Amino acid sequence: GDSDALFRLGIQPLVHLPSVGRNLSDHPTVGNQWMVNGNDTFENLGRNATLAAEILQQWNSTKTGVLVVGTFNHVGWVQLPSNSSIFQRFPNPSAGPHTAHFELLPRFESSTSTFSSLIS
């Protein structure tokens, strides 16, 4: 975090990162669903616990199979331009000039929840 603010609280910072910890907010989640032309998708792992266990065993044993390519393949951090019209009405809420306004973190709920239960 900000070294000055941390020093005032009696905390010895290792690195001065003034953007860290400011304007902390929750990460909202938006679910997107779509139809595909086929039935060989990660959704099969969410619907079939036996298949999910076999796929996980294959990955644990040989590091091969569909889990080689993770479900997270597109991640983005986006900041609005500083001259965006919204900043004429509202102050910029970001923690710093290089901090994103939007974080795009896709996930696949069915396969994630299935694997979480298999691993724990």
Query: Residues 92-112: pLDDT tens digits?
Result: 888 788 888 887 766 554 444
Distance CA 76, CA 25 (A): 17
CB 23 within 8 A of CB 94: yes
Mean pLDDT of the chain: 76
Per the listing, tokens 């900041």 go with 79
> What is the SS3 assignment for 30-80?
CCCCCCCCCCCCCHHHHHCHHHHHHHHHHHHHHCCCHHHCCCCCCCEEECC
The reported pLDDT for the residue numbered 119 is 46
Q: Work out the percent of the chain whose per-residue pLDDT is above 90.
A: 23
* Band of residue 61 on the pLDDT scale cut at 50, 70, 90: very high
pLDDT at 2 over 50: yes
pLDDT at 117 over 50: no
